[in-house]
Structure 1
Amino acid sequence: MIDDIAFRLIGVTRTPEGFDRGIEFDDLATIAETAGTSGEPRGVMLTEENLASNAIALSEASGGDGDELRLSFLPMEHLYARTCDLYTWIVRGSRLVLADSPKTVFRDAKIVRPTVINGVPYFFQKAIDLAEANGESLRSLLGGEIKRCYCGGAPLSPAVEQRFFDEGVPLFTGYGLTEASPVVTVNTPAAHKLGTVGRALPGVEVRIAEDSEVLVRGPNVMLGYWDDPAATADTLRDGWLHTGDLGELDAEGFLTITGRKKELIVLSTGKNVAPSRVEALLCASPWIEQACVVGDGEKGLRALIVPSRERLRAEVRKRRLWVFSKRGALAHAAIRALYRQEIDERLANAAPQEQVHAFTLIGRGFDRERGEMTAKLSLRRETISQRFAREIAAAR
């Protein structure tokens, strides 16, 4: 899929005239929907300059000569894929192959042999699990020619990031949001720090407000929200985009995202917890496919845990447990004990308020088609909490 903006990018990057051919740099180019993780999606108004500057800056920060082959599987309706795969491909003059579907990525990688892949945390954790199950390296799993991977959309466990580096497949994390076209910061081969989401792109400024909110300013920041002047005025203040994300900047300019303001869980003890950080630590376990943490107003956190089907099935067979259904396996004392130990180990270095006090193993994963995840596979917590209210109440 090559859209109108992609063709315009060809013009701005391939001809000296750039946008002089009847196209104004500040023209409205597209209205992109936000992910809607903490409310109704909004229409984000983005200009030619927003999108072109972001794709060009991302290409510049990534380095290299553009001699690469990208395998793309993320949904193109989301700006992450459109900018980081489609538009960046055009800016760099490289090659792009679309996977048959998200479910065939690993098969397609062995056919195409890509050098670059953009993905979300779930994909990279799944890659580790599959490589271990097949007894092969991550490099081999991804086609044998992979030079680097990029991850965005949600927090990634440092353990997953380190595992890729240890196997000679650099995995660079970044941060962004639709309102910023979307990339704000990224780790690169030239500037990388484990556990952070990298430095700001060229031409983009990042600062931390007094309440730890991440603020962004630059040519990539949106015009505003479509037909919502109140939300625009609240989000764009004094020339800065108020992202709603919480973060820290170190002395070298590397950004660490610590949570999202609207998603903070406030325990009855008064302690605040960023659920996405806890979930990233849990999902680094090969035993855990997905996790959703709740606990607002309670003494401690509760977690909905989606087990790895393959590992769970193999464990039942290995122990010769007397179970005759999936529900029986999830409720079996031996399986619960195994997951209790795994959860505790994954959170061993987390703060006391980040410990999971009770959990429930659930029989299906959170699903985009059911409205439980966004296009970039972020959790819609309110929907999940309502849909799994009985399971959350039964957590122990």
Structure 2
Amino acid sequence: MSQTQHVVTRLREVIARHGSRPATRIREGDRWVTQSYDEFGARVLAVAQGLLDLDVEVGGRVGLFLGNRPEWSEVDFGAATVRAVPVPLYATSTPEQIEHIARDSGLTVMVVGNQSECERVLSVADRLPDLRHIVIVKPYADMPDRVMPYRDLLRAPEGDAVEERFSGALGDDLASIIYTSGTTGEPKGVMLQHSAFVTQSDALDQFFDITPEDHSLSFLPLSHALERAWTFVVLMHGCMNTYVENARTVAEQMVLAQPTMMVSVPKLFETVYATAHQRASDSPVKRQIFAWALKVGRHNQYAYRSGRQPGAALRAQLALADKLVLGNVRAAIGGPKKVLACGGAPLRAEIEEFFSAVGVPIMQGYGLTEASPLITFNAPDDFKQGTVGKVLPGGELRIGDLGEILYKGPNVMKGYWQHEEATAETVIDGWLHTGDVGYVDTDGFLTITDRLKDIIVTLGGKNVAPQPIEGLILSDPLFEHAVLLGDNRPFVTLLVKPSLPHVEALAKARAWPGELHDWLASGELREELKKRVDELTAKLPSQERPKDTEVLQEEFTMDNGLLTPTLKVRRREVEARFKALVDDMYARLERLKEQGRGGAGGA
């Protein structure tokens, strides 16, 4: 495979054509810090030389453990220039997860962002003999001598060393190893090639008119395959990429940056939708105007979708609806969008319909890290609401046993790092077994209907493997059953069925009044269970820690359908059976969250 299928080659072509155009931007205090493509390219070369000076070999692994900043991409492309393999880690990673990924991948260099990330790495560094260098973007006082400031990594290229190393680069070189959680809970490294990212970018050109005048807002973690792949697209098209280091500031930065393109997970769209409806609920008049404006927006979109221009009366109504409601919603997301894409988790139908009515249709897509990650997507002139679009050009879809979606294409992973057996189970005769269930309609659009696996995908797009967490909780004998919930929810929560003998023993030891039925319904038991859950999960990343715990009194049996014949919990049956309890739990947590905001606002 030729070097033209390598992301560094594509970046160099952009630099040659658009060197003076802005490449990266980040908000520092109250100002923007921007660098041109020429400047970005120079930093990439300086990183490449620095890595050579640290004796990083061809195929050597370089860890990226920092928030979204231009330095993230500088190291990403710099490592690729010397044919090293970037290995991203989520900023929320615990020391245990850092140790596993660093050890499994054999990291020799780790680039961290700040003191918090550095100290987590240092806490396990003595157990990582391969990790020779730790580089920090934001140095701090009294940091250990072994930690190198990022500015010291940057070196002016010496002779032809960097170019000699890059001369052997090919499209089938590894572009990254991205660790993703599986049902076993042990993250596996997904090996992705440069050609996969380039192929995806080229495919999008058939459907989206992306030009150097466009610019994007990067706020999803770059350690996530979706944001990583999209950032490659942005930079390989000569666009400006605005980096959001703290995702909590995304609402403010959308307005400041005014991006023409953005990729997100459903959580952002859910928040905009909820906020707009909340502001319209102040009075009956506001609610009527809001509903009318959305109706006008919908009818205009229906006309465009059917290939005709809206009538004069409808266009006049739209101008007023735009002034009163729709324009304000667009302003809240930073203005009109050429690309507004959503992936990582399902998007509710009413959210999709709302943004379409506002005049900024969301293009839903579908993919997996194992597919770099794009499998299907909707496009402006080829979309169908309620679906995740058509298959990537050059790819194929097939529906297998139990309705499982199978995918074959040029962007399927090379395999799992050092896990040949898992690779063989996941990719069979070139077909990637996705673990998701769905169907393809007669027009070629894919709809996802279910998940074969139990992986929870939160509204924020975080993947959470429930079984290891449940196993951790069940290590305490007070718990008989534990079911983690959170699919398409903002965070995970927990339903537990306590062990009756252990409840009885605890109640007697604590001298609780009453009998067994009283103890099961008591606040004392609920608080004890919640305290133990918090202690057992304290070392997990925040997205894996249950935000609340509810106690179930009903027995889990085969007769009542909560257990399989092999005594496994029927997860979906449990969630359906106790839906009212679960909905109440999330509603209560949301109220507490809103009360907290109100208290903070009034302080």
TM-score normalised over the length of structure 1: 0.65
Answer whether contact 1:279 1:292 (CA < 8 A) is retained. no
Equivalent AA in structure 2 for residue 391 of structure 1: E
Distance 1:129 1:60, change over 3 A: same
Is 1:225 paired with 2:225?
no
State the 1:194 CA deviation: 0.7
CA contact under 8 A between 2:196 and 2:410: conserved in structure 1?
yes
Residue number among 345, 348, 355 corresponding to 1:164 in the alignment: 355
Match of residue 156 from structure 2: none
Indicate the residue corresponding to 1:26 in structure 2: 172
Q: Which residue number corresponds to residue 54 of structure 1?
A: 200
What is the rounded CA distance, in whole Å, between the counterparts of 1:94 and 1:220 in structure 2? 23
* Cα distance in structure 2, aligned partners of 1:34 and 1:99: 23
Q: Equivalent residue of 2:401, what SS?
A: coil
Please say if residues 147 and 170 of structure 1, whose CA atoms lie closer than 8 Å, have aligned partners that are also in contact.
no
Distance change (3 Å), C-alpha of 1:39 and 1:241 = same
The alignment partner of 1:104 has SS state of: helix
- Call closer, same or farther: CA 1:292–1:156 in 2, change over 3 Å: farther
Aligned match of 2:10: 9
Task: Give the equivalent residue in structure 1 for 2:251.
Answer: 106
Paired position in structure 1 for 2:432 = 241
Instruction: State the partner residue of 1:340.
Output: none
Equivalences for residues 188-199 of structure 1 within 5 A: 188-199=379-390
Aligned partner of 1:104: which letter? T
Q: Describe the SS at the equivalent of 1:206.
A: strand
- The 3-state SS of whatever aligns with 1:165 is helix
Match of 1:124 in 2: 269
Task: Name the counterpart of 1:174.
Answer: 365
User: Counterpart in 1 of 2:342?
Assistant: 151
Q: Are the equivalent residues in 2 in contact too, given 1:34–1:42 (CA < 8 A)?
A: yes
Structure 1 CA distance, aligned partners of 2:176 and 2:225? 10
Distance in 1 of aligned mates of 2:539 and 2:359? 35
Summarize the alignment of residues 242-391 of structure 1 with structure 2, pairs less than 5 Å apart: 242-263=433-454, 280=488, 370-371=540-541, 373=543, 384=546, 388=548, 390-391=549-550
Secondary structure, counterpart of 1:231 in structure 2 = helix
Question: 2:183 touches 2:454 (CA, 8 Å); kept in 1?
Answer: no
Matched-pair contact (CA < 8 Å) for 1:164–1:171? yes
Would you say how many aligned residue pairs link Structure 1 and Structure 2? 294
Q: Does the 8 Å CA contact 1:139/1:169 hold for their aligned counterparts?
A: yes
Go from structure 1 to structure 2 and tell me whether the alpha carbon gap of 1:245 and 1:295 turns closer, same or farther (over 3 Å shift). Answer: farther
Q: Which amino acid aligns with 1:200?
A: V
The match for 1:214 is 405
Measured in 1, the distance between the counterparts of 2:432 and 2:419 equals: 15
Q: CA deviation at 1:392?
A: 5.0
Shift of 1:183: 0.7
Q: Which amino acid aligns with 1:234?
A: E
- TM-superposed deviation, 1:109: 1.4
Shift of 1:80: 0.8
Contact 1:109 1:142 in 2 (8 A): yes
Aligned to 2:53: none
Give the whole-Å Cα distance in 2 for the aligned partners of 1:36 and 1:206: 22
User: Greater relative contact order (Cα 8 A, min sep 6): structure 1 or 2?
Assistant: 1
Q: 1:177 to 1:98 in 2, by over 3 A?
A: same
TM-align CA RMSD: 3.6
How far did 1:66 drift? 5.4
Shift of 1:6: 4.9
Contact 1:197–1:255, Cα closer than 8 Å, also in 2 = yes
Q: CA deviation at 1:13?
A: 7.0
Corresponding residue SS for 2:206: helix
Matches of 1:392 and 1:8, distance apart in 2: 57
Structure 1 portions without partners, runs of 5+? 266-274, 284-288, 297-327, 329-363, 374-379
Aligned partners of 2:192 and 2:245: how far apart in 1? Answer: 29
Q: Which SS does the other structure have where 1:391 is aligned?
A: strand
Choose the corresponding residue for 1:393, options 547, 552, 568.
552
State which structure, 1 or 2, has the greater radius of gyration over its C-alpha atoms.
2
Distance 2:395 2:212 in 1: 22
